[in-house]
Amino acid sequence: MEFLIQNIFNALQWGSFYALIALGYTLVYGVLLLINFAHGDIFMVGAYIAFFVTAFLLGDFGGMASGALPGWAILALAVPLTMALTSCVGVTLERIAYRPLRRKGAHRLYVVITALMCGLVLENGNLALLGASRKKFPELVDKAIWTFGEVSVTNLKVAVIVAAVAVFLILQTIVTRTKIGMAMRGISYDKFAIPLMGIPVDSIIVFTFVLGSGFAGLAGLLFAMSYPILEPYMGALIGWKAFIAAVVGGIGDIRGAFLGGFLLGFIEIGVAAVFPSTLRDLLAFSILLVILWWKPTGLFGVAKTTKI
Amino acid sequence: MQKYTFNAVLAMGAIVIVALSYYEVLDLYVQTVLMLMGINIILSASLNLVNGYMGEFSCGHAGFMCVGAYVSSLVTVILFTKDKVFGAPVLDPELAVWFFPVAIGIGAAVAALTGLIVALPSFKTRGDYLAIITIAANYMVISAIENMDFIGGPRGFQGMKRVVNSMTDVIDIPWMMIWIIVGTVFSVWLLRRFVSSTYGKGIIAICQDEVAAEIMSVDTNRMKLAAFMLSSGLAGLAGGLFAHVYGYINPQSFNILKSTECLVMVYLGGMGSLSGSVLSAVLFTLLIEALRFFIPELNAMMHGIGILPDSYEIGQVWKWVIIPMVLILLMQFRPEGILGNKELADVFPRLRKFYSFK
């Protein structure tokens, strides 16, 4: 029983990361109908940005006096800084790579290939610039362990889960209750009529990228705090799997991404608890194939009809 | 006689290359680059069938290559060599000469069956979702092979060199070079014949408009099945050749980066243009090999000018920044590739005199 509850907590934490990244995928897809394949690598960049921000605040680069700030203050500063800087990366990508193609009205395939390549450039550029040595993320907040009977939960785990739920609620509110969210839904509905209604399409798209990349940055920071070893290829596999989570939930749907992320987390932790853990990826991908075969547009997705 | 010029030139070229390899005028490095060129031609031409002619977006091509490489290597190593894991050779090693193409064919057939993983979902899903399925297939293949410990798992698999050596013991000619030339010519010939046949034109019809093709009595599901299986089977053939050229394979050499290489070649050459695929595979191989020499030169030059700090060296990893960059720029400025949906003979009509193609 304790083993089960312990694993449920682990799955919730693992699923939170997937959910956070899947939300970014879904946001961009919902507006642009574009799979932003570079999103996983934006998450990786977010983790690295978090590393450099905290290192700067801890006084490693001589910007600050060492030990001037307590750990919680550094964390409080690092969260918005990381989110802002990662958003800048996402928006830059949109500006340089996606927008010119969109302006030309290029085929969607070309945009997808460009996204894929941007991801590779981010990964390998990071590897080339910073070297292959792994970075160790500093511990900011003392680990507190709360035990309930046999089950122990760290404060970090709770923070991650709470963050994922909070982000989900924020996004759901933005998309369903605000004007800007309405504009987002409008663009995905009909991108030719929307500019005629006086809605600045480009700013809305930039805002979408800001949201998605910002939360990817937050996920990167939390991930780096939970598993404090950073390497350039960390974003690739997690990004793919988060994307799978988004697809399984029905891409373009916020609830779907959130639930899909947790579903994948539970599947993976369940597999790792029962089978040898090397089979984790294989089973995760197989389950994706089965789900897509059964429901080609995901659990929450709406079936598309083609007009002839 | 004029219309057989192309075939004659091709045969002459093949004989010249084999002869030069035999008398070792070409050193081993140049030979390896030539072989890699052949393998890349097979890869890019076969991926062009799905990505160019059928207009789908498959980006897990290396997974099928992996299957072909492993299966054909296992067949040859089990049958013809004394191996630590699999024991004594089952057949006489001298038979390897005759059996080698069969082994490669078995690898290709199994890779084609693996292509079903992608082909079956493609009946219902299209576009982005199918792209995901192909990538998932690539990961699944690699992950599955890494979990098979008896063939080495993540440590890789070797022993194919001994097969090639036993082939040269029988008749001392550059066998791999010959088989790669045969495989390349066979693949390009097969694809050319396939897409220009009445049956194969269904694939181009699917690319134009699937619903209309279905109405005009193209069996789209069967067509997709044929296209995916032929494409992945040829990738398996390329993989088998690759394994026997290098003598060592490991699952990670067929990961997403290898698939990206195939994609770069297809889009560089032009979607739906076989001659473009061949041309771009040749150019791309030369580019990669040139970068191998160019990057240290650049490093030395930049250190000489003093742009770079002394502690930083430009390494070979920059290759993987430059190649995606090339593709990004290509997508921005000339998304249709070098030839762009035309064959070489459409661009230079005079070439038509030199080959017969009915």
pLDDT of residue A141: 76
CATH tag, B27-354: 1.10.3470
B321/A128 CB distance under 8 A: yes
Using a CB-CB distance cutoff of 8 angstroms, which residues of chain A are in contact with residue B59? 116
* pLDDT tens digits along A19-55: 999 999 999 988 888 888 899 999 999 999 999 998 8
Closest residue in B to A105 (Cα–Cα): B332
* pLDDT tens digits along B198-215: 999 999 999 988 889 999
**Total number of domains in chain A:** 1
A292/B132 CB distance under 8 A: yes
Closest residue in B to A308 (Cα–Cα): B211
Q: Determine how β-strand A229-230 pairs with β-strand A135-136.
A: antiparallel
State the average pLDDT over residues B119-148: 85
Written as one letter, the residue type at A49 is I
State the average pLDDT over residues B234-258: 92
Rounded to the nearest integer, the mean pLDDT of chain A is: 86
* pLDDT tens digits along B343-355: 888 888 888 888 8
- Asked if residue A57 belongs to a domain, the reply is yes
* pLDDT tens digits along B106-119: 999 999 999 998 88
- Asked if residue A261 belongs to a domain, the reply is no
Model confidence, pTM: 0.87
Question: For chain B, what are the domain ranges?
Answer: 27-354
pLDDT(A113) > 90: no
- Asked if residue A91 belongs to a domain, the reply is yes
pLDDT(A210) > 70: yes
Host domain of residue A120: 17-235
- Asked if residue A230 belongs to a domain, the reply is yes
pLDDT of residue A152: 79
A293/B121 CB distance under 8 A: yes
Using a CB-CB distance cutoff of 8 angstroms, which residues of chain B are in contact with residue A285? 136, 139-140, 143
- Asked if residue A194 belongs to a domain, the reply is yes
pLDDT(A17) > 80: yes
CB pairs under 8 A between A and B: 108
Query: A66 pLDDT band (50/70/90 cuts)?
Result: low
B140/A107 CB distance under 8 A: no
- Asked if residue A214 belongs to a domain, the reply is yes
- Asked if residue A224 belongs to a domain, the reply is yes
Closest residue in A to B257 (Cα–Cα): A120
pLDDT of residue A208: 94
Closest residue in A to B138 (Cα–Cα): A285
Which residues of A touch chain B, with CB atoms under 8 Å apart?
35, 97, 100-101, 106-110, 112-114, 116-118, 120-121, 124-125, 127-128, 236, 240, 243-244, 247, 278-279, 281-282, 285-286, 288-289, 292-293, 296-297, 306, 308
pLDDT(A275) > 70: yes
- Asked if residue A307 belongs to a domain, the reply is no
Least CB-CB distance to A35: which of B128, B260, B331? B128
Min Cα separation B132/chain A (Å): 8
* pLDDT tens digits along B27-68: 889 999 999 999 999 999 999 999 989 988 888 899 999 999
